[in-house]
Amino acid sequence: MRLGRMATSAASLALAALLAAVLAPNPAAGQSRESLQDQQGPTKADCVFSHPAFSGKCTETVEVAAGSTAKDACSVVLECLNDIRCTKTFCSATTLRGGWKLDSAGSRSEPSK
């Protein structure tokens, strides 16, 4: 009979440990989207541009500022591509300025290192 009590006690302890693990609060559950994003790494925007005189599509990946959207981040590049005074290089270092349009702006998170 003594062995039966020990087995029952061990089973009860194992069940209690399992329940504690399942019911324990999830530390990530209370975190904001921004703090989870900080753990994942910066958000990037994949921007796709087109121009009638440019062969194919131009794809640029840029970082999205906190509180901003992928479209906002891509718009910064688009402004440069359409400004003859901009000297930054995009789209395989094209010198075409003006006439660019944004075809799509998608976002993704980079894994933390």
pLDDT of residue 108: 84
Is the overall model pTM greater than 0.75, yes or no?
no
Count the neighbouring beta carbons within 10 Å of the beta carbon of residue 68: 15
DSSP 56: S
Rounded to whole angstroms, how far apart are CA atoms 90 and 58?
Answer: 8
Q: Could you list the pLDDT tens digit for every one of the 113 residues in the chain?
A: 455 554 555 556 555 555 455 455 655 555 454 444 445 557 999 999 999 999 999 999 999 999 999 999 999 999 999 999 999 999 999 999 999 999 999 988 766 55
pLDDT at 24: 57
What is the Cα–Cα distance from 24 to 17, expressed in whole angstroms? 10
